[in-house]
Amino acid sequence: MITTLPDEAHNLYLTLTARDMNRNLRIIARADLEQGEKKLRRAGADQVISPHLIGGDRMAMAALRPHVVDFMHMATLAEGGLSIEEIVVPAGCEITGKTIVESQLKTDYGVTVIAVKPAAGLMSLIPGPKTQLSAGDTMVLIGPVEGLDRLSKLLG
């Protein structure tokens, strides 16, 4: 569930109610202030987004690192055919049990693994080529939309 009501108190109430109704529901809630973020997390939100903080961070980045902001804008909006995706490694697929380099994702699909989150564990950023891919791992990849689409279809 994603709650983006304009009043933070309403988002808090909705989060409390939804969490009470379903303990397994993934809840993403909008907050205005840092205090609201803490309250929403205590109420049961899995993730809290503050548009004001994100906007401020983005403006500072645009002033200090304009090329990074341009790159991220292109990558996240799939301009120029580049995108960032997450794909779960299914059991029994051709890359299960292989290392990143053995999987030939870069060669066959033009995509780069920029993070791997094991089914049970912490996310590894910029994993090495010898990182083994196991069933249930979530890969975060960057690459051309066409390559990511083909890989996604292959892995189901």
Distances 53 to 10, 30, 49, 56, 152 between C-alpha atoms, Å = 20, 11, 8, 5, 33
Residue given tokens 């994702």 in the structure block: 105
pTM: 0.75
Does residue 75 register a pLDDT over 80?
no
Asked if residue 47 is part of any domain, the answer here is yes
Q: Are residues 47 and 89 in the same domain?
A: no
In a domain, 98, yes or no: yes
The domain tally of the chain equals: 2
Pairing assessment for the beta strands 112-117 and 47-49 based on DSSP bridges: unpaired
Which residues constitute the domain of residue 92? Answer: 80-155
Amino acid at 3: T
Same domain, 86 and 44: no
Q: In this structure, is residue 69 part of a structural domain?
A: no
101 with 150, same domain? Answer: yes
At 84-136, the pLDDT tens digits run: 899 999 999 999 999 999 999 999 999 999 999 998 899 999 999 999 999 99
Residues 95 and 140 in one domain: yes
Helix axes 34-43, 8-21, angle to 10 degrees: 20
60 in any annotated domain? no
